[in-house]
Amino acid sequence: MTWFRVDNRLVHGQVIEGWLPYVAAKHLVVANDVMARDDLRQQITLLAVPQSVETYFVTLDALADTLRACGDSTFVLFEDCKDARQASDTGVVMKSLNIGNLHYGPGKKQLLPHVAVSEQDSEDLRTLLARRVQLDFRCVPSEKVRDSIEQLL
């Protein structure tokens, strides 16, 4: 199974301690054009990832090929909704997308304590919903899945 998550913090404690064990991930793919080109951030990030999890930092254009090479038991991180939509635009098929954390900022609407969306975020998520991607709003695996928030977008 491949698990997809939007979290503007990318790799952090909730991902390492919660999500990777929950999905029994053998592969962690950080799909972000900026991070894919930043060797220093990659090296720092790798210090937090268990050595048993093979980690890739890829551009959005390279994501589909990387997923084919990884196979099952893969956890994919996007920094924002735009990246998730762009991955879908390039042919990456997502059955479900976990919305883990989107920080509040100017011009954003707070939907949940951990999710604030801009107009662009809402548009991107509505596009994914139209493509039959199920949205799963939660920070950690032990939380109850919130999937009825779509009407607020």
Q: Write out pLDDT tens, residues 45-91.
A: 999 999 999 999 999 999 999 999 998 899 999 999 999 999 999 99
Q: Could you read off the pLDDT of 123-145 as tens digits, one per residue?
A: 999 999 999 999 999 999 999 88
User: Would you call 152 exposed, middle or buried from its count of C-beta atoms within 10 A (0-12, 13-18, 19+)?
Assistant: exposed
Indicate whether 148 belongs to any domain.
no
Number of domains in the chain: 1
Query: What pLDDT does 146 receive?
Result: 76
Indicate whether 152 belongs to any domain.
no
In the chain, DSSP assigns E strands to: 2-7, 27-31, 54-58, 74-78, 96-101, 109-112, 115-117, 134-137
CATH number, residue 109: 3.40.35.10
* pTM of the shown model: 0.94
Domain that includes residue 6, residue range: 2-140
Query: What pLDDT does 131 receive?
Result: 96
Q: What share of the chain is helix, strand, coil (3-state, %, to 5)?
A: 35, 25, 40
